[in-house]
Amino acid sequence: MILEFLKMNGYGIYIWLSYGFVFLSCSIVYFKVLRTLKKYENAYKNELMKLDAKDRDKIAKNSKVARYVLSSLKETV
């Protein structure tokens, strides 16, 4: 029964090739975008952590993004 399903009445190769291509290309794009996001998120966190506490608080007070990134850092710590 599984073999029948995979064969798809003789069209299996075309169907699985299409779905395989879509799955692979979408997965590659997703993981590439995720990796870039994490890379910049960490780089920004590190830049913030390099600042002294006074400057960091000042930036956190003025920037919602910095505040959010710092709060997520506290959660992970």
Q: Which two tokens stand for residue 18?
A: 């299409």
Q: Least Å distance between CB 51 and other proteins?
A: 8
- 63: how many CB neighbours lie within 10 A of its CB? 13
Phi, psi of 52 (to 5 degrees): -75, 160
Helix (H) or strand (E) holding 38: helix 12-50
57 near other proteins, rule: CB under 8 A: no
Task: Give the per-residue contact string, 13-42, with other proteins (x = CB under 8 A; - = no).
Answer: -xx-xxx-xx--xx--xx--xx-xx--xx-
Q: Which two tokens stand for residue 51?
A: 């600042």
Residues in contact with other proteins by CB under 8 A are 5, 8-12, 14-15, 17-19, 21-22, 25-26, 29-30, 33-34, 36-37, 40-41, 43-44, 47-48, 55, 59, 63-66, 68-69
